[in-house]
Amino acid sequence: MAMGRRDTFKLAGVAAAAAVMPSMATASEKKVAKKATGKSVVIIGAGFGGLTIAKALKKSDKSIDVTVIEKRSMHMACPLSNGLLGGLDNMSLSMFVGDYSQPATKYGYSFVNSEVTSIDRKAKKVTTSTAGDIAYDILVLSPGIAYDYEKQFPKWDAAKIAHVAQSCPAALMPGNEHIALLRQLENMDDGNVYIVPPAKGKYRCPPAPYERTAMIANYLKKEGIKGKVIVLDTRGGKFAKGKAFQESWKDLFADYIEYKGFTEVTDVDPVAKTITYTEFKDADDEKGVSKTEKYEVCNLIPINKCSPVIAMAGIEHNGAGYAMMDGYSFRSKTDKNIYVIGDAVTHKIPPSGQTAIWGAHRAAGQIVAQLNGKVDDPKKGLPAKAANVCFSMVGGKPEEAIMVTHTFSADKSGVLKGKGNVPKPKDGNGKFRSKGTAKATREWFGGVMREMFA
């Protein structure tokens, strides 16, 4: 059907009106769209920490008014997603996603799909890009991480960073990056190389790059591709569940995995698909040798930093943006009405999904106590045995996994600290990995999804 000029105008008119409306709404609601009730808790971030604490607060005290603000419109979970990349049986994207309205409706909290643009601690309000201002009595920050390409590659300009970030997805923040990696994997062919440079310093999910190494090797083996996974590491084999991973790599994928323990990535050319790095003999070698490798997929995991939301709140944080904590609690050191959970804390506990859930429950207890004029002992229940349980898939046929447990305790340094233990399972025949542990991995994942959504 041909469209006349008048029709075009009409359409343009509608579009213009639609474009104006949200900003008008924002302007009229500028004062305060949502007032605090005296028991209003606003949560920024609907990841593992945010969704857990929203539900936990409503479950322990229905009279608390809870609002969750999240910039994404859909939740995707990160744990177990390496299994999806690795082509494990019975894995699909739908296992990893959830809609925010489900728990919000069930537990009676508000969900606001918008981005936080500023936080005013004095006025106790949060400004959002599309939903006006939201006032709080208690603010919970669960904003997660950001990538720090600038720190790792000071010579790169913004355009280069954007290009590399898109072409070489890190896939620590679930969603688009994982889907891009999945697509890139499909292009792998005989003789191709998949590069994994794990991040230096503190980063989300310490075992992730090494689990991914095993899972990509599994993918190559399963698809009959004579390719290779090259790990350009800085840790000389001393990484999360290191012995357990290396045992599995050697037993299952010796022909597929090449691990280089002392390297430094110096440049990536996403057009030529090459990565340049310096390889050192050992930890003492300062000179090293520069090498360039051609890759098909480059899963560059850059240095992590904290989401800028912590700095936006104007609370004390360390050099990488992670919030300074009030002793063993999950409260900010600076502001008694601000709590921080998930990966954004400076407690020395591993940044994992289960740690985020654990911290969210503790923070919920502390908040409920504060709102009711009581004090919740932040050392209550410490040391907490198996506070973190973290599984990693290491094999596909048969499906096998390894695990680590962490005990969290009150460290002398004044913060929470985790101590890990990598056990050998009863059904592992002396190995770190077992089929039972893989089943536990899937059950673990079902559990954390139920925690947030059921």
Q: Which is nearer to other proteins, 132 or 378 (CB)?
A: 378
Given 363, 387, 393, 415, the residue binding other proteins (CB under 8 A):
387
Distance in angstroms (rounded) separating the CA atoms of residues 297 and 220: 13
User: Considering the rule CB under 8 A, would residue 443 count as an interface residue with other proteins?
Assistant: yes
Distance in angstroms (rounded) separating the CA atoms of residues 291 and 312: 40
Alpha helices in 86-167 (DSSP H): 101-107, 149-152, 158-167
Question: What is the nearest approach in angstroms of other proteins to the Cβ of residue 390?
Answer: 10
Q: Which is nearer to other proteins, 298 or 438 (CB)?
A: 438
Q: Identify whether the C-beta of residue 85 lies closer than 8 Å to the C-beta of residue 182.
A: yes
Q: Identify whether the C-beta of residue 281 lies closer than 8 Å to the C-beta of residue 262.
A: yes
Distance in angstroms (rounded) separating the CA atoms of residues 213 and 65: 44
Q: Which is nearer to other proteins, 197 or 365 (CB)?
A: 365
- Other CB atoms within a 10 A radius of the CB of residue 17 amount to 10
Q: Identify whether the C-beta of residue 383 lies closer than 8 Å to the C-beta of residue 409.
A: yes
Q: Which is nearer to other proteins, 192 or 388 (CB)?
A: 388
| Window of 41-49, 254-262, 343-351, 421-429 that interacts with other proteins by CB under 8 A | 421-429
What does the radius of gyration of the chain's CA atoms come to, in whole angstroms?
Answer: 23
Binding mask 220-259 for other proteins (x = CB under 8 A): ----------------------------------------
- Other CB atoms within a 10 A radius of the CB of residue 278 amount to 16
- Residue 267 carries which side chain, given as an amino acid letter? D
User: Considering the rule CB under 8 A, would residue 107 count as an interface residue with other proteins?
Assistant: no
- Other CB atoms within a 10 A radius of the CB of residue 273 amount to 18
Question: What is the nearest approach in angstroms of other proteins to the Cβ of residue 384?
Answer: 8
User: Considering the rule CB under 8 A, would residue 358 count as an interface residue with other proteins?
Assistant: yes
Q: Which residues contact 231 (CB under 8 A, 6 or more apart)?
A: 196, 197, 198, 209, 210, 213, 257, 258, 259, 260
Given 91, 323, 356, 403, the residue binding other proteins (CB under 8 A):
403
Residue 250's Cβ-count burial label (10 Å; 0-12, 13-18, 19+) is exposed
- Tokens 């997805």, residue? 169
Q: Identify whether the C-beta of residue 378 lies closer than 8 Å to the C-beta of residue 355.
A: no
User: Considering the rule CB under 8 A, would residue 428 count as an interface residue with other proteins?
Assistant: no
Q: Which is nearer to other proteins, 76 or 356 (CB)?
A: 356
User: Considering the rule CB under 8 A, would residue 447 count as an interface residue with other proteins?
Assistant: yes
Alpha helices in 261-329 (DSSP H): 309-312
Binding mask 286-325 for other proteins (x = CB under 8 A): ----------------------------------------
Q: Which is nearer to other proteins, 153 or 358 (CB)?
A: 358
Q: Which is nearer to other proteins, 201 or 446 (CB)?
A: 446
User: Considering the rule CB under 8 A, would residue 348 count as an interface residue with other proteins?
Assistant: no
Q: Which residues contact 270 (CB under 8 A, 6 or more apart)?
A: 163, 164, 167, 168, 298
User: Considering the rule CB under 8 A, would residue 340 count as an interface residue with other proteins?
Assistant: no
Question: What is the nearest approach in angstroms of other proteins to the Cβ of residue 385?
Answer: 5
Question: What is the nearest approach in angstroms of other proteins to the Cβ of residue 72?
Answer: 23
Interacting positions 43-102 with other proteins (CB under 8 A): 56, 59-60
Distance in angstroms (rounded) separating the CA atoms of residues 378 and 383: 11
Q: Which is nearer to other proteins, 109 or 153 (CB)?
A: 109
User: Considering the rule CB under 8 A, would residue 117 count as an interface residue with other proteins?
Assistant: no
Measured torsion, CA atoms of residues 304, 308, 309, 312, in degrees rounded to the nearest 10 = 150
| Residues facing residue 401 across a β-bridge | 393, 434
User: Considering the rule CB under 8 A, would residue 422 count as an interface residue with other proteins?
Assistant: no
Given 241, 331, 361, 417, the residue binding other proteins (CB under 8 A):
361
Distances (CA, A) of 358 to 53, 129, 338, 406: 10, 30, 18, 12
| Window of 40-48, 182-190, 340-348, 424-432 that interacts with other proteins by CB under 8 A | 424-432
User: Considering the rule CB under 8 A, would residue 425 count as an interface residue with other proteins?
Assistant: yes
User: Considering the rule CB under 8 A, would residue 385 count as an interface residue with other proteins?
Assistant: yes
User: Considering the rule CB under 8 A, would residue 423 count as an interface residue with other proteins?
Assistant: yes
Given 405, 411, 420, 431, the residue binding other proteins (CB under 8 A):
405
- Residue 6 carries which side chain, given as an amino acid letter? R
Helix-helix angle 353-371:435-453, to 10 degrees = 30
Q: Which helix (H) or strand (E) segment is 366 a member of?
A: helix 353-371
User: Considering the rule CB under 8 A, would residue 262 count as an interface residue with other proteins?
Assistant: no
Q: Which helix (H) or strand (E) segment is 394 a member of?
A: strand 384-396
Question: What is the nearest approach in angstroms of other proteins to the Cβ of residue 434?
Answer: 9
Question: What is the nearest approach in angstroms of other proteins to the Cβ of residue 214?
Answer: 20
Instruction: List contacts with other proteins (CB under 8 A).
Output: 56, 59-60, 106, 354, 357-358, 361, 385-387, 389, 403, 405, 421, 423, 425-427, 436-437, 439-440, 443-444, 446-448, 450-451, 454
